[in-house]
């Protein structure tokens, strides 16, 4: 199955997770990282979820359709596949986007991810092998350290100035292509962000003089 890659803004939006085990916990951590308001429906929850009880709303009850009303995303994460499918059907009828754990009939799948501040890499096998996605994530984590998040913050600081001083989209693409070279990649990885910033400043000055 081919999925369309997209990042969804769920900050301060209600997302529902049905299930209280370790898999549900892993999904909830990702939702919280994105700033969601998380509601959990489960008669019992694992110790890890208990530790999040001050950050999420927990309904310690068995699932029933009337317990879900509105929201953006629903994740069916019980250990009962038939129940998960029923939860999905109920949620779709109420216009939720639905993820069913270990089921590619989901409306969306949750990729393995590497998050470095606002720098986010999503890794997916299209639902065919979550184990391989996790393996790839572990390998890529060695390449993408925290300096890449800091680099995004630094570039963001100059983005509006670049937009203001370089008049067209095509010229801005060329500007960043000239900045972001393999040499700069090595500088970022080693934490030498001053070289990146210096290159941005010098390039902006040159463009202003040319213009």
Residue-wise pLDDT for 112-163, tens only, equals: 899 999 999 999 988 888 899 999 999 999 999 999 999 999 999 999 999 9
Residues 6+ apart with CB under 8 A from 94: 68, 69, 70
Domain assignment present for residue 30? The answer is yes
Whole-number pLDDT of residue 46 = 96
Nearest CA-CA partner of 7 in 29, 26, 35, 28? 35
Q: Which of 84, 110, 136 lies at the terminal end of a domain, its last residue?
A: 110
Domain assignment present for residue 167? The answer is yes
98-132: burial string, b at 16+ Cβ within 10 Å, e else: bbbbeeeebeebbbbebebeebebbbbbebeebee
Q: Are residues 154 and 105 in the same domain?
A: no
Q: Which of 110, 133, 168 lies at the terminal end of a domain, its last residue?
A: 110
Residue 191 has a CB neighbour count (10 Å cut-off) of 12
Over residues 20-73, the pLDDT tens digits come to 999 999 999 999 999 999 999 999 999 999 999 999 999 999 999 999 988 999
**CATH number, position 39:** 3.40.50.720
Quick one: angle between helices 182-190 and 147-165, nearest 10? 130
Residue 168 is classified by DSSP as S
Is-contact 74 18, C-beta < 8 A? yes
Domain assignment present for residue 115? The answer is no
Tokens describing residue 93: 């009828």
Q: Are residues 22 and 99 in the same domain?
A: yes
φ/ψ bin of 5: left (φ > 0), alpha (ψ from -120 to 50), beta (otherwise): beta
Domain assignment present for residue 178? The answer is yes
Q: Are residues 45 and 101 in the same domain?
A: yes
Structurally, the chain folds into a number of domains equal to 2
Q: Are residues 106 and 37 in the same domain?
A: yes
Task: Supply the range of the domain harboring residue 204.
Answer: 147-210
Q: How far apart are CA 79 and CA 67, in angstroms?
A: 19
* Across 169-177, average pLDDT: 94
Q: How far apart are CA 134 and CA 103, in angstroms?
A: 17
Q: Which of 110, 131, 162 lies at the terminal end of a domain, its last residue?
A: 110
Q: Are residues 87 and 151 in the same domain?
A: no
Q: Are residues 97 and 152 in the same domain?
A: no
Q: Are residues 91 and 153 in the same domain?
A: no
Q: Are residues 84 and 166 in the same domain?
A: no
Locate all alpha helices (DSSP H) within 51-168, ordered by sequence: 81-93, 130-141, 147-165
Residues 6+ apart with CB under 8 A from 86: none
Q: Are residues 77 and 159 in the same domain?
A: no
Domain assignment present for residue 118? The answer is no
Domain assignment present for residue 57? The answer is yes
Q: Are residues 32 and 97 in the same domain?
A: yes
pLDDT at 207 over 70: no
Q: Are residues 20 and 71 in the same domain?
A: yes
Q: Are residues 23 and 105 in the same domain?
A: yes
* Across 195-211, average pLDDT: 82
Q: Is the pTM of this model over 0.75?
A: yes
């Amino acid at each position: 199955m081919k999925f369309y890659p997209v990042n969804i803004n769920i900050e301060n939006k209600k997302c529902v997770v049905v299930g209280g085990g370790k898999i549900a916990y892993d999904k909830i951590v990702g939702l919280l990282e994105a700033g969601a308001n998380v509601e959990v429906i489960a008669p019992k929850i694992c110790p890890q979820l208990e530790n999040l009880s001050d950050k999420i709303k927990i309904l310690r009850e068995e699932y029933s359709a009337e317990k879900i009303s509105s929201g953006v995303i629903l994740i069916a994460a019980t250990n009962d596949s038939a129940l998960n499918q029923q939860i999905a059907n109920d949620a779709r009828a109420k216009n939720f986007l639905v993820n069913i754990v270990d089921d590619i009939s989901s409306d969306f799948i949750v990729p393995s991810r590497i998050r470095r501040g606002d720098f986010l890499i999503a890794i997916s096998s299209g639902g065919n092998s979550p184990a391989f996605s996790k393996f790839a994530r572990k390998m890529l984590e060695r390449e993408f350290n925290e300096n890449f998040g800091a680099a995004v913050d630094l570039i963001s600081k100059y983005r509006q100035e670049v937009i203001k001083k370089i008049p067209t989209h095509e010229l801005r693409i060329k500007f960043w292509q000239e900045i972001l070279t393999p040499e700069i990649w090595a500088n970022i990885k080693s934490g030498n962000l001053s070289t990146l910033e210096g290159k941005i400043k010098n390039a902006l000055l040159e463009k202003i003089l040319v213009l």
